[in-house]
Amino acid sequence: MKNEIYGYFPYPIKWIDDKWLINIDSEQIPLGAEIIELNDTKIEKIIPELYKYYSTDGNNLTGKRIGLMTSFSKYYRLHFGLTQNFKINYVNPISKQLETKNVEGVDYKTYIENFRKMHSMSVDQYYYADLKENQKYKYKQLDSITGILTIQTFDMGNETTKEHLKYNQFLDSIFADIKTEGLKNLIVDVRNNGGGTDPNDLITYSYLTNRKFQENIQAWISFNKIPMLKYIDHKVPSFIRPLFIGKFNKEFQQIFPQEKNGKFYQDENSDDHKIRTPNQNAFTGNVYLLTSPRIASAGSLFAAMLAGNENTTTIGEETMGGYYGHNGHTSLEYKLPKSKN
């Protein structure tokens, strides 16, 4: 796809107030124009056709719209093929009149360049950026009774890393201050949190609860050996892949040792089943949790746990998920015979 020289929808789009809007200030179509039709097909018929290209938890749709915001052009190309010209029927955001423009398809590289120039990037940048350590979290006291804790990611390493220890110290420091100051309200903003590494989510939650808790009470996988080795998309020759895959099989069998009805479960020794206790400086006032469809994986787990507390008011949209099931911890890509370009 990266070598294709035409065929891609040129503009990034964004879902706002139940409308798909042009998210770049182009010369041909104004910023904020509402897309009504593409090539004589209603946009509300096109969008559901593309949802299958972006996986979310269960029946979630809010997260799929985030995926389309990033990759609409690519998914359109996958579903409808390379398109030379796009006939766009849209509502002009200034005149409120229905207008039509024909624009040429662009190459994939140009689309990516346009995506990086999208109008909302100043707002959305934390979701797409490779965050530096000093951008991942912050705390600010807003007034004498209210503070705001913003956590953009839980990607701070595990117990063995300096970054995790630094984050742990940060939490200990700010929650000690919150307790000393006697704050009544705490805003917890995780709207851009796409997940990260255990136990950063769990440690954070320990400062926001007054009850004992577990990461889960049950988890299982459907196999304990990597299947279809010859289709794994990797440079390692197929005849030695069993050796390459061995470490993953061993890991699966250690973490999920109990077989029951064709599934492989964690046992009672799993750290995921560990009973955890609230921190001594845990906040017990009013919590206001800010959520969005960008939240996934460890971010979704954290949001679900915090939203379940009696003292939490949740404000925002449904998260993307990854709470019930995902494969983010051990990712392998497959290239099936019919999928080859």
Instruction: Quick: pLDDT tens for 25-64.
Output: 998 999 999 999 999 999 999 999 999 999 888 788 889 9
Predicted pLDDT at 10 = 96
pLDDT tens figures, 73-114:
999 999 999 999 999 999 999 999 999 999 999 999 999 999
Write out the two tokens for 314: 């949740």
Query: Of 137, 117, 110, 148, whose CA–CA distance to 24 is shortest?
Result: 117
Q: 3-state DSSP: the chain helix, strand, coil percent, rounded to 5?
A: 35, 20, 45
Look up tokens 């070598």; give the residue. 3
pLDDT at 329: 58
What fold characterizes domain 133-215+274-316? 2-enoyl-CoA Hydratase; Chain A, domain 1 (3.90.226)
What rounded mean pLDDT belongs to the chain? 91
Does domain 13-124 correspond to CATH entry 3.40.50.720?
no
- What pLDDT was estimated at residue 340? 60
Domain boundaries, the chain: 13-124, 133-215+274-316, 220-270
pLDDT given at position 327:
53
Looking at residue 240, its pLDDT comes to: 81
Residue 101 one-letter amino acid: K
The region of weakest confidence among 4-8, 124-128, 160-164, 170-174 is 124-128
* Number of other residues whose CB lies within 10 A of the CB of residue 153: 22
Closest of 246, 242, 274, 268 to residue 255, by C-alpha: 268
Distances (CA, A) of 275 to 216, 217, 250: 10, 10, 26
| Alpha helices by DSSP H, the chain | 43-50, 62-80, 108-116, 121-128, 162-181, 200-206, 241-255, 298-307
Overall pTM surpassing 0.75 (yes/no): yes
Percent of the chain at pLDDT > 70 equals 96
| pLDDT tens-digit series, residues 279-308 | 999 999 999 999 999 998 899 999 999 999
